[in-house]
Structure 1
Amino acid sequence: MREWTGQFWFLPAVMTITALFLAWAGIQVEERHGIPAGLDWVYSGGESGARSLLSAVASSAIGVAGTVFSITIAALSYAAGSMGPRLLDNFTRDRGNQAVLGTFIATFAFTLFSLRSVQGGDDRPFVPHYNVTLAMLLALACVAALVYFLAHVTRGINMTAVINLLRDDLRRALERATDDRTEAVHPAAPPEAFWTAGEQLRSPDSGYLQLLDTEALTAAATRDGVALLILVRPGEYVFPNTPVAVGVPRLPGGVLPALVLGPRRVAGQDLEFTVRQLAEVAARALSPGVNDPVTATDVIDRFGDALCRLQGRTWPSGVVYRDHQLRLVYPVTTYGGLLDSMFHMIRQYGSASPAVTLRLLDVLRIVAQGEQDATRHAELDRHATLIMEDARRETKNPGDLKDLEDRYRTLRQGIRRHGEAPGA
């Protein structure tokens, strides 16, 4: 349901239907009860004036909407070249943009419906005075919506605004994907040899794994008294006729319906997709055609923010027991995999930029200072080493290289002081 209500057309459609109902109700009320005395603010003109006013409002509303949104889409398409496709997706799902479009379309539909009820002549003349009055108010609402829309879109295509939106998405995704460490339970997974004699399930179709229904899979395995291993993770592309699951001693029923495939990656269970959207912004900023290291460092700061929020939280093990019996094992994103998604692309594209490399090392140092987990320190140390290896090869200026070596040395010393990472 949320996927439907978030579509660009949903709110405008609801507003248009509401406008049509109001137009019909206004006509019915006036035909039955007329205009009470004392309502001086209600339109009091004749048939000719009503036709002209309603026609002007209808043509203006749809004309302005078409022109403004056409120009806006062109500007957004140009801006998406440097910010990524997330900008367009955010524009279509933004409730403010939907409300503006709905205001214009609802005004157009309301005035057209009202216009058809205007009748002249001597037989049965009728002018919908309530509706003409409301049409004038809707015209003023369209003007206000236009002013709001221009200011809103201008803020929306700002690079910092886009990065902050992606940061908020990443925060929510990490909160869904991790647990509070004091409450987390990590049952052990069986060795790989346990699954060698199992029955394989191959995918009959292809696409990105958008949803893995672990509750349904656990219920199916419990019902049939088997253990089930899922081989693919949300966000991975599933090729046809490739193994996606293994059941021991046999496969339970209902596995394929719990693996939802689609033509594109989506947020939700696919944590790395949210991370890669931010990393893509940094990679585009570091391309030779854009050359914007400031944006890349902004993205690195947001990644540091996310990693600091992970301190004290832990990843699910992906192992599910029911009544002390193994029922399901499924792949999950690890801390190391998260770091790979965050920093590999930025490191590769930004290795020749000392400003980017320095900020990468600074952020890793700050994250390491607050992190207490030994395995996470080892992953941070691994990425710091990769960054310095590329920097030594690409950095030409001796002064820049000295700064990088100093930052790297400080980072390694901080990790070693915790006694949780291998020495240099």
Structure 2
Amino acid sequence: MAANDHAKNSLFTRAVNTGQNGLKNLAQLWSLKTLTDLPDRFRNLWEHLIGSYWFIPTACVLVGIILAPILVTIDEHFDRETVRELSFAFTGDDDAARAIMTAIAGAVLGVAGTTFSITIAVLSMASSQFGPRLLRNFLTDTPNQFVLGAFIGTFSYSLLVLKSIHKYDVAFGVPQLAVTFAIIMAIICALLLVYFVQHMVHAIQASHVIQNASNDAIKSIYHWYSDQCDITHQRDVEDNDVEQFYAWPKTTIYSPSCGYLQQIYLESLITLTQDYGGVVQLHANLGDFVTDKNVIGYFYQRPADHPNNLKRTKTAHLAVIPRTPDGMFWQRFATCIRIEQRVTHSNDIAYSLGQMTEIAVRALSPGINDPKTAVNCVQSLTTCLSIIMRRQPPSPYHFYTPPTQNDDADTSSEQRFTMLAVVTHTPRISDFIDTSLGEIRRYATADLMVLKALCQAMVDLNYARVNTAQQQTLLHELKLVARAGEENLSYIELIDDLKAMCQQAKQFILDDDAAHQYFTYVGEFAAHIDKALQTESS
């Protein structure tokens, strides 16, 4: 018996010590230094809650549970004669109120089951037609969640009001305002059912799904790509250790867990690099799959004699003591990135572009055979890629700018001081073209309609190009389109038609004045017909 008590006390002591150590480590990890970018973390949490299928319906149920006792309490203190003067208010007895509330509760619960069945049927169809990764767009559709939430919220409200109807309660009677509100909600639910059916009809259309994916991609592009060049940032790149940090002592950074890299908290990472006096270079990009053995980057430690390692004088906030990464460094680094076990929606541009690519690839499969949908995806991808080409790409270099010393009289005359902190990987436009339009090309090798749409896409992107490198990328992709058709199209006439269009597109792209000209492809047969018509008219 004593041995059992000793074992229990030992187990309890170990549990208390483990809890204390866990709280201590949690306090260190979630300190103000680590959580420099709390708004980004809270925004990601909010997007995760909004994106879940249960959050909005649960909120509606809670609203119904809260409204029921509130309205019943108001009924207890409300003048009955005033209620009877309202033409739309319920003024029946307790039996009528109980019958109405029972009917409303049963009806909205049945309709909620119907809407859920329709949603499951739409998800099944969307999974087979658009791909399983597109299911998130349907599950996170706010109108669908709100309609389901309105139904079950009305059901919860009706049950609670029904419980408050007492037959022999002479002092209070029937909660007339609460019953009136339930009737209004039942009418609203009937209208929402009509809206739900109309909304689902539009939601399952391919054009609607493609447009939503395109809007997500454009939103992500505007988040990362700016409309103008940051001159101050360019000066920071020229004046800092961009070219020298590769020669510093480096430590390999491994992924803390397996999964998909979904978020990089730059502010927390910059704070971490300043505490340890170095530069973190990340080679993994958003959306990349990593394992716990993957090398995702390096930590470059500044030399001890580096001029940025200032002594602790009046500018103590600039003092940096380079340190080799230790256990706390790796724990804090794990909080600076977010790795998920599955691909989730984030500000990753490639994720949204990949959705449209997946729709196009599935549309080109023999089971669906819908090249028109693939052409629509090519056109939407062209729109997104043209925006990327026109805007200023994000810089891979991120700097630490120390706060201004207000109590220093000479600070106003000093130059702006920055320190290189983080170097990230920035995808190029050629990468986006290869993983989107290039992927469609590899599946559309025997479809002339899609190949010609890809050729036209290169012409349309040429209007947005701003440098020679982008021009060479378009010409390379155009060459691959012509090669794909030449090796896979069935008839020589189709091959000649595609080669002629690619040749005209190439000449147009190489034209220095192409931005001010209109491109239209004229095939050999069409040119022959036009010539014959002109001869007859003359």
Give 1:122 shift: 7.6
1:64 aligns with 2:111: yes
Deviates more, 1:40-49 or 1:341-350: 40-49
Measured in 1, the distance between the counterparts of 2:48 and 2:481 equals: 40
CA distance in 1: counterparts of 2:422 and 2:169, whole angstroms: 80
Match for residue 293 of structure 2? Answer: 241
CA distance in 2, matches of 1:267, 1:406: 41
Deviations 1:357-393 (A, max 9, x none): 0110011012113423111111111211122221111
> CA offsets per residue over residues 76-103 of structure 1, 9 Å max, x none?
3113311223543222322221221122
Residue type at the aligned position of 1:13: T
The alpha-carbon distance between structure 1 residues 183 and 197, as it changes in their structure 2 partners (threshold 3 A), is closer
Q: Which residue pairs with 1:289 in the alignment?
A: 367
Residues 255-293 of structure 1, C-alpha deviations (whole Å, 9 max, x = no match): 222121111223334221111111000000000100000
User: Greater shift after overlay, 344-353 or 76-85?
Assistant: 76-85
Summarize deviations over 1:299-350 as a string: whole Å, max 9, x none: 0001111122234312223123444543321111111111111122201111
Identify if the C-alpha distance between structure 1 residues 71 and 307 changes in structure 2 by more than 3 Å, giving closer, same or farther.
Answer: closer
- Residues 87 and 157 of structure 1 are in contact (CA less than 8 Å); yes or no, is this contact kept in structure 2? no
Does the CA-based 8 Å contact 2:126-2:132 persist in structure 1? no
What are the equivalent positions in structure 2 for 1:386-401 lying under 5 Å apart? 386-401=480-495
Of residues 359-368 and 95-104 in structure 1, the stretch that sits farther from structure 2 once superposed is: 95-104
Describe the SS at the equivalent of 2:443: helix
1:192 & 1:335 partners in 2: Cα distance?
A: 27
Q: Partner of 2:426: helix, strand, or coil? A: coil
8 A contact 2:245–2:279 mirrored in 1? no
**2:434 pairs with 1:340:** yes
Does the 8 Å contact 2:60/2:149 carry over to 1?
Answer: yes
CA distance in 1, matches of 2:169, 2:293: 76
Deviations 1:19-45 (A, max 9, x none): 233221222122233412423432222
Cα distance in 1 between the residues matched to 2:227 and 2:169: 78
The one-letter code sitting in structure 2 at the alignment partner of 1:68 is T
Question: 1:25 and 2:70 equivalent?
Answer: yes
Secondary structure, aligned partner of 1:179: coil
Residue in 1 aligned with 2:145?
A: 98
SS for the counterpart of 2:77 is helix
CA distance in 2, matches of 1:156, 1:398: 41
Match of 2:354 among 276, 279, 285: 276
Residue identity opposite 1:320 in structure 2: H
- How far 1:148 sits from its partner (Å)? 0.6
1:300-315 equivalences in 2 (<5 Å)? 300-315=378-393
Matching residue of 2:258 = 206
Q: In 2, are the aligned partners of 1:228 and 1:251 still within 8 Å (CA)?
A: no
Do the aligned residues in 1 keep the contact of 2:115 with 2:148 (CA within 8 Å)? no
2:459 to 347, 350, 365: 365
Greater Cα radius of gyration, structure 1 or 2: 2
Structure 2, unaligned runs of 5 or more = 1-45, 302-323, 401-416, 515-538
- Measured after TM superposition, the shift of residue 53 of structure 1 is 1.2
Which range is displaced more, 100-109 or 241-250?
241-250
Cα deviation, residue 238, structure 1: 1.0
Q: 1:385 aligns with which of 476, 479, 497?
A: 479
Q: Deviations over 1:101-132 (max 9, x none)?
A: 12211211111111111112487773222222
Alignment pair present for 1:222 and 2:274: yes
Aligned CA distance change for structure 1 residues 168 and 269 (closer, same or farther; 3 Å): closer
Deviation, structure 1 residue 70: 1.1
- Structure-2 change in CA distance of 1:376 and 1:251 (3 Å): farther
Aligned-partner SS, 2:49: helix
User: Which deviates more, 388-397 or 23-32?
Assistant: 23-32
Normalising by structure 2, what TM-score?
0.73
Which segment is superposed worse, 376-385 or 293-302? 376-385
In 1, Cα distance between the equivalents of 2:360 and 2:464?
A: 25
- Give the CA deviation at 1:297: 0.3
- In 1, the alpha carbon distance for the partners of 2:182 and 2:245 equals 73
User: Does the aligned pair in 1 maintain the 2:50–2:140 contact within 8 Å?
Assistant: no
Evaluate the alpha carbon distance shift between residue 118 and residue 399 of structure 1 in structure 2; reply closer, same or farther with a 3 A threshold: same
Q: Which aligned pairs between 1:5-154 and structure 2 lie closer than 5 A?
A: 5-37=50-82, 38-85=85-132, 87-121=134-168, 126-154=173-201
3-state SS in 2 of match to 1:33: coil
Letter in 2 for 1:11: I
* Runs (5+) with no aligned partner, structure 1: none
Which deviates more from structure 2 when the two are superposed, residues 334-343 or residues 268-277? 268-277
Whether contact under 8 Å (1:369, 1:414) holds in the other structure is no
Q: What value does the CA root-mean-square deviation take over the aligned residues?
A: 2.4
